[in-house]
Structure 1
Amino acid sequence: MSQPRQSRALVIVNTDFCSSDGDVRLRPRRGARREAEKLSQVLAQLSYRVKLMHSRTAKEMEDLYQQECGYEHGDYSVSIISSHGEEGAVLGCDCRPLRLARVFQILSPQNCPALTETPKVFFIQACRGTALDQGVLLEADSGQLEPDSFSEYLRIPPNTAVMFACSPGYGAFLNPAGSMFLQALLAALAGEERSLALSRMATHLNAAVALGCQARGAYEGCKQMPCFVTNLLQDVFPFSAADQLDPQERMEEEQQKPMAS
C-alpha cells in the first residue's frame, strides 16, 4: 500500500497588537497562543505538516499565503487564523486588516493552479463585528464592523470551505482558557468527530458552540453561533486517516469489509 501524500496546515495566531506609530493598540488575546499550539500538535498527530506562525503583520500574513502556493499540499490544505477581526477581514499584529477576499484571491485557480483540485479548509477565530448575543462580550477579537461586505468573503475559491467562529456582524468569545470555537474544534480533532465528513463535523461544531458554551460571571448568558460557508462538490474527510487513501486503496478497503447479512 502506497503512502499518502502529506497534507499541509498553516496556523496563524496573533496575540499582541500595536500599530507601527503606536497610536492604535488592541488588548492582548490571552489564551490564544496556547490554544494554537495545541491545535498544531493535534494536526501533526493527524499526519499534517504544520507551519505555526505567531504575531504576524497583515502583510506578513498575506506573504505566508503567497508562499503556500509554492508548496506540495498533498490531499488537503488547512488554515487556522486566530486574531482580532472585523467583517471580511482579520487583523495583523500591526492592527492593519488583511481582507479575506485577498487571501481567497491568492489561492484562486488563476493565481494558484497547483491548489485548484485540492480541498481548502479555513477555520477563522475572529470577530466579524460588534453585535452581541444576550449581553456584553467577555473578551472579543473585534475591530469595527464594516457593513455591506457580506458578499466579499463569499468569493471563495473553488473547492473551498470556510468556518467562522461567529455569524456576520457578531463578536467571538475569548478568555484565558481559549476561545469557544477553537476549543470545540480541538475537542473534535482529538475525538471521534474527526472521522466525520467536514460538513457533518461543522454541524457538530455549531451545536457544541451554540448550545454548549456561554460566558460566565458578569456576562452570564452571552452566546455565539459559528457560520459555515462552502462550495465543495462532494463530502471530504480531511481529518480521517482512512480518507488519506487514494481512490483505489479506498475501494480495496471497502471490498475487505464484511457484507451485511
Structure 2
Amino acid sequence: MSQPRQSRALIIVNSNFCSSDHDVVLGTRKGAKREAEKLSRILSRLNYKVKLVHNKTAKEINDLYQQERCCEHGEYFVSIISSHGEEGVIFGCDMEPVKLTQVFQTLSSERCPVLTKIPKIFFIQACRGTEFDRGVVVECDSGNPAPQSKPDCFSACVSIPPQTVVMFACSPGYVAFVNAFGSMFLQALLKVLEGEERHLALNRLMTRINWEVAFCCQARGTYQGCKEMPCFITNLLQEVFPFSAPIAEEADGV
C-alpha cells in the first residue's frame, strides 16, 4: 500500500540585505535565521516535508513558488516568510519587492489546479508600514486613557484566492519586531506548534497566536513598551487541523 503524500512547507528567511550596487540599506535581522531553523524542525516532526532557504532575491522567491506548482503535495501547504517588508510586499535580499498578491495567485486554482482543494497557509513576518503600536489600556483604576493623536487607518486587505489563509505579524501600517532572540510573532507560532494548541482548528490556533502576542509580548530597548497585533485573513470553506499530527521523535544529532 502506497504511503500518503506528505504535506509541504516552504520557509523563506532573509537576514542580510544588499542592493545591486552593494549598498547595505536595510539592517541585518538578527535572530531570524535561528527561529526559522526551529520552525523547520518542528514542522518536520509534524510530518511536513520542509524546504528552508536563506537570503533569496526577489526573483528567486518568485521562482520558489513557481516550483511548488510542479511538486507533489499532501493535505496542506504551509509557507513562512520572514523578511523586511511594507504593506503588500516583502523584500528579497537584493532589496527588490515581492508582491504578496503575486505569490498567492501563483498557487491559486486558476494557475495551479493541483492545489485547488489543498489549503494554502501563509505566515508573514514582516513590517507593513512605519507606525509603532503603543498598545491600549484595557483596565484602568482611575482616569481615562489618552485619546490617540489620529484615528487608526487600515489599508485595503490583501486579495487572496480561495482555499488560502494569510496571517500577518502585525496590522496594516505598523512595524513588526525582531531581535537577537527572534520575532514576537514567529516565537508565538513556534510555542503553539510545540504545545497542545496545535490540535486546534486553524482559525482558533491563529486566534491563540493573536492572544499570545498581544498580551505576552512587548518590545524592549529603544522601543520599550511597544506592542504588536497580528491579524489573519481566510478564504477557507471548512475547518482544518493542519498541525494536529503527533510530534515525532527528533533524530539524534539534530
Pair in the same fold by TM > 0.5: yes
Moved more, 104-113 or 173-182: 104-113
Aligned partners of 2:187 and 2:58: how far apart in 1? 25
The match for 2:224 among 220, 241, 246 is 220
Kindly indicate whether the alpha-carbon contact (under 8 Å) linking 2:155 and 2:173 is maintained by their aligned counterparts in 1: no
Match of 1:78 in 2: 78
2:233 corresponds to 1:229: yes
TM-superposed CA distance for 1:129, in Å, is 0.3
Q: Residues 100-130 of structure 1: CA distance to partner in whole angstroms, max 9, x if unpaired?
A: 0110121111111110100000000000000
TM-superposed CA distance for 1:216, in Å, is 2.0
Structure 1 SS opposite 2:219: coil
Unaligned runs of 5+ in 1: 136-146, 243-261
Kindly indicate whether the alpha-carbon contact (under 8 Å) linking 2:81 and 2:125 is maintained by their aligned counterparts in 1: yes
Task: After TM superposition, list the pairs within 5 Å mapping 1:44-123 onto structure 2.
Answer: 44-123=44-123
Kindly indicate whether the alpha-carbon contact (under 8 Å) linking 2:11 and 2:40 is maintained by their aligned counterparts in 1: yes
Q: Which has the higher helix share?
A: 1
TM-superposed CA distance for 1:150, in Å, is 2.3
Distance 1:202 1:222, change over 3 A: same
Aligned partners of 1:223 and 1:61: how far apart in 2? 29
Aligned partners of 1:59 and 1:18: how far apart in 2? 14
Structure 1 SS opposite 2:41: helix
Unaligned runs of 5+ in 2: 136-152, 247-254
TM-superposed CA distance for 1:219, in Å, is 2.5
Aligned partners of 2:161 and 2:48: how far apart in 1? 22
TM-superposed CA distance for 1:157, in Å, is 1.6
Kindly indicate whether the alpha-carbon contact (under 8 Å) linking 1:87 and 1:150 is maintained by their aligned counterparts in 2: no
Kindly indicate whether the alpha-carbon contact (under 8 Å) linking 2:40 and 2:50 is maintained by their aligned counterparts in 1: yes
Paired AA for residue 156 in structure 2: F
Runs of 4+ in 1 over 3 A off after TM superposition: 1-4
Q: Residues 40-72 of structure 1: CA distance to partner in whole angstroms, max 9, x if unpaired?
A: 000000000000010000010000000001111
Kindly indicate whether the alpha-carbon contact (under 8 Å) linking 1:88 and 1:150 is maintained by their aligned counterparts in 2: no
2:199 corresponds to 1:195: yes
Aligned length: 229
Moved more, 47-56 or 217-226: 217-226
Match of 1:141 in 2: none
Structure 1 SS opposite 2:98: strand
Kindly indicate whether the alpha-carbon contact (under 8 Å) linking 1:24 and 1:95 is maintained by their aligned counterparts in 2: no
Kindly indicate whether the alpha-carbon contact (under 8 Å) linking 2:154 and 2:173 is maintained by their aligned counterparts in 1: no
Kindly indicate whether the alpha-carbon contact (under 8 Å) linking 2:154 and 2:172 is maintained by their aligned counterparts in 1: no
Match of 2:156 in 1: 150
TM-superposed CA distance for 1:215, in Å, is 1.2
2:174 corresponds to 1:173: no
TM-superposed CA distance for 1:2, in Å, is 7.4
Q: Residues 134-169 of structure 1: CA distance to partner in whole angstroms, max 9, x if unpaired?
A: 29xxxxxxxxxxx99624x2x212101000000000
Provide the aligned C-alpha RMSD in A: 1.7
TM-score by length of 2: 0.86
Paired AA for residue 150 in structure 1: A
TM-superposed CA distance for 1:4, in Å, is 3.6
TM-score by length of 1: 0.84
